[in-house]
Structure 1
């Protein structure tokens, strides 16, 4: 078992770290104070620098202008970029665009590629992914109600979606809608590309999260479709194949998310350690002298390192044997890393005291935006139950091992 990072990957990570130090961290306070949506000039500058540094589209194949990385290598890079809310955005591998690029790469027709994928790859437009609904359990996408009925050469959509990340300002939505209500659960829905300027498409609001409605990239919207008509050729992938495409989108996405979360953890741990080492409580006494703070630092260090090994092993397993072989591992990393993230951020805020609650550090931004890690892409409880059932199935009477 060799834990060494290959020289080419190590060089890429060094280049990414230098990019973060030189370009991203210096502008981060300005962007977070202004709001990402009001910082197009800075984002454009960061993206130009990312292209120049050879960090553009790390999630995509070389033929699409990307870096052609394995899932394992992309995971390592994602951790480095995750140290700042701007890292992935700078390299055009931010959610939800990255996942949409991946499914468009696999399923888009030539016309869909030209109109939607290629501008997305160039960073000229944004997209969103509309699956979750306010009236059905987000943890069970087989129960969706938003419907798309075929009417001649068009699909007509009616229904509601919400928590649609980045819909504010997106050029199009990939919408998962029911196209055959009578079909078995996993064959009811299809994916459709819906331009956001289509009559009948309405962004009702940006849903406030912990008091912040956000805008642009940093927003989650409620959407309404009312007799929203799109041509039949808007279908993405096979008809009634929506559930399969959604799962394909979420598989690599969980690796990307988990490694990004670990990047956040590393940033928070570094801030926690710096605060503990320098904050004076009384003459000659610093916060880091307190044993409880020392214990928090050691526990966070151990949990981050253990979580990273679990995620990297999962990425390696997927690269070597495919997603089916890693089903248990994908569930395990999803809930485990999300819990580690919550704990590390909470400890870092606690060590910073009142300062940690303010927007004077990046911690409050991370905390309010990333508490959802334990809910989106399947809540912790669903992943725990799914993994446990598969573990139990292997130990039923009559089965060995």
Structure 2
């Protein structure tokens, strides 16, 4: 194992540049009314994207052919953490979910014509996208419960079904739709389809009111009623939808860890500054062991999460699947970061439950992180099964 804990200088410098951009340009927007309960508006996103372009930190993970730097996973670990120092930072530099994961999937799987039609405008920040898998009462933590169907009718596919909790659906430029085939030798096999939006056969039924508020476009319920797509709308190969979903999810769940780790750093910094200045019972708050111990526990959780991210990123860069490590990182980071947010809010006391600081918002959003991209319980179940069967 030749693990190097000294990342390349170019990654460190880009991360520092990104952090400086976030502090100077993005954080002032955190009180902007365009950051709504359903996420930042597209107007705010575009404005921040333009600032990121001017600062030279826009979409560094994107392939060079689309104007990015083609960062590997270790590079992303540093830069995405820096971007996450503000919850608006990932959106500003265009590494937010679901677009970042969709860019990765299409970069790996899409045909040349699909790269130009779908990937290029997304990679360049001209449109947003969504990934339509989760269903009410159907596919979610168990994608095998997929109910949305796709059947062939001549030279077209006809798709019917309902999806929900679809992040970024409102005003997205295109969608990846997961459906199971109906009829024929591949019946029941999951397949991914690409569809331009808007489309009269695709309806956003409603935008859900959720605990989190950091994703542009919010989370929507979508219905597909006799949606007709051309035969070449398939992404990748027919029947390999579950496999491609894993191509997307393994690095995408790690990217979530990277971004939210940046927010954990922010919460810790705010709590630390408060503990250094607030006085109670005759001394600074931070001089009380009950508070200093919470700050110490935060530092250890942040350190543990970062090590887990870096190790998994290193494995992915070596070409390994890192399925076990990705699952472990998702659980370790989502739970550690939630603890950091919780302790930071507790240290702030009454101030913590107000929106005078961003900690309250970080607390709410990081609670959701323990559910999406696989709840902690599902990852533990999968890891435990592999351990018992001797496959880990």
Alignment deviations for residues 259-304 of structure 1 (CA, whole Å, 9 cap, x no partner) = 112111111111111111122225x333223211111111111111
Query: Equivalents in 2 of 1:72, 1:303: separation in Å?
Result: 20
Q: Alignment partner for residue 151 of structure 1, among 136, 150, 153?
A: 153
Q: Give yes or no for contact 1:180–1:240 (8 Å, CA) kept in 2.
A: no
Q: How do 1:68-107 and structure 2 match up within 5 A?
A: 68-107=70-109
Partner of 1:228: 227
Shift of 1:32: 6.3
CA distance in 2, matches of 1:310, 1:157: 40
Distance 1:41 1:173, change over 3 A: closer
Displacement, 1:137? 4.9
1:286 matched residue in structure 2: 284
Q: State how far apart, in whole Å, the 1-side matches of 2:161 and 2:349 are.
A: 45
Question: How far apart, in 2, do the equivalents of 1:199 and 1:141 lie?
Answer: 26
Aligned positions of 1:366-381 closer than 5 A = 366-381=362-377
Shift of 1:183: 7.2
TM-score (normalised: structure 2): 0.92
Indicate if the aligned counterparts of 1:182 and 1:188 stay in contact, CA closer than 8 A: no
Question: In structure 2, how many angstroms separate the alpha carbons of the residues matched to 1:32 and 1:165?
Answer: 18
Does structure 2 conserve the Cα–Cα contact (< 8 Å) formed by 1:193 and 1:236? Answer: yes
Report if aligned partners of 1:168, 1:215 keep a CA contact under 8 Å in 2.
Answer: no
Are 1:192 and 2:193 matched, yes or no? yes
Preserved contact between residue 174 and residue 191 of structure 1 (Cα < 8 Å): yes
Inter-partner Cα distance in structure 1 for 2:45 and 2:201: 31
Aligned equivalent of 1:263: 262
Q: Whole-Å Cα distance in 2 between the matches of residues 17 and 371 of structure 1?
A: 24
Runs of 4+ in 1 over 4 A off after TM superposition: 31-42, 180-185
Q: Which runs of 5+ in 2 are unaligned?
A: none
What's the CA shift for 1:338? Answer: 0.5
Instruction: Give RMSD over aligned pairs.
Output: 2.4
Q: Could you give the per-residue CA deviations for residues 308-354 of structure 1, whole angstroms, max 9, x where no partner exists?
A: 1111011111212411xx22211111111100011111111111223
Report if aligned partners of 2:161, 2:225 keep a CA contact under 8 Å in 1.
yes
1:385 matches 2:381: yes
Shift of 1:10: 1.7
Aligned to 2:249: 250
Match of 1:315 in 2: 313
- Structure 1 spans left out of the alignment, 5+ residues: 396-400
Distance in 2 (CA, whole Å) between partners of 1:246 and 1:254 is 12
Could you tell me how far apart the structure 2 residues matched to 1:136 and 1:46 are? 36
Structure 1 pair 199/41, CA: closer, same or farther in 2 (3 Å)? closer
8 A contact 1:199–1:229 mirrored in 2:
no
- Contact 1:167/1:216, CA 8 A, preserved across alignment: no
Q: Residues of 2 paired with 1:191 and 1:4: CA distance?
A: 39
